[in-house]
Amino acid sequence: MRDSNLPGTDLLKTVLEPLLDDFEYWFGRSRQLLETEQLSFMSDQEQSDLLLRIKQAQTELNTAKMLFAATDRQVGIDMETLKPWHKLVTECWNVSMRFRQAQDV
C-alpha cells in the first residue's frame, strides 16, 4: 500500500482532480449548448458530430474519475488520454466563442 503522504499523491489531488472537474464542466456546458441551440456557423452534421464526440469524452471522463476515486486519488491518468480531451475542450471553447460573437451581431 502506498503512503498517502507522498508528494506525488498531493500533486495528483492538487492538479489532476481540478483538471478532471474542468473537463467535466466544459464538456457539460458544451453539450448543453449543442443540444439546445442550432448554430448558424455549423452544419447539422458538424454539430451532431461534435456532440457525439463530447458524449464519448464524457463517458471516458466519467470512467477515469471513477477509477481515480476508487484508488483514493493515488493513480494518475496517462497524458495520451488527456490530450484528446484538451483538444476537444479547445474546440468547444472556439464554438462557444463563435456562438457568443454571432449573438452580438
Confidence of residue 7 (pLDDT cuts 50, 70, 90): low
User: For the segment 25-52, what is each residue's pLDDT rounded down to a tens digit?
Assistant: 999 999 999 999 999 999 999 999 999 9
| Confidence at residue 13, expressed as pLDDT on a 0 to 100 scale | 80
Which residues are CB-neighbours of 58 under 8 A, at least 6 positions away?
A: 24, 27, 28, 31
Query: Other CB atoms closer than 10 Å to residue 10's CB: what's the count?
Result: 12
Q: Are 79 and 19 in contact (CB under 8 A)?
A: no
Q: Are 40 and 105 in contact (CB under 8 A)?
A: no
Closest CA to 50 of 104, 87, 23, 80: 87
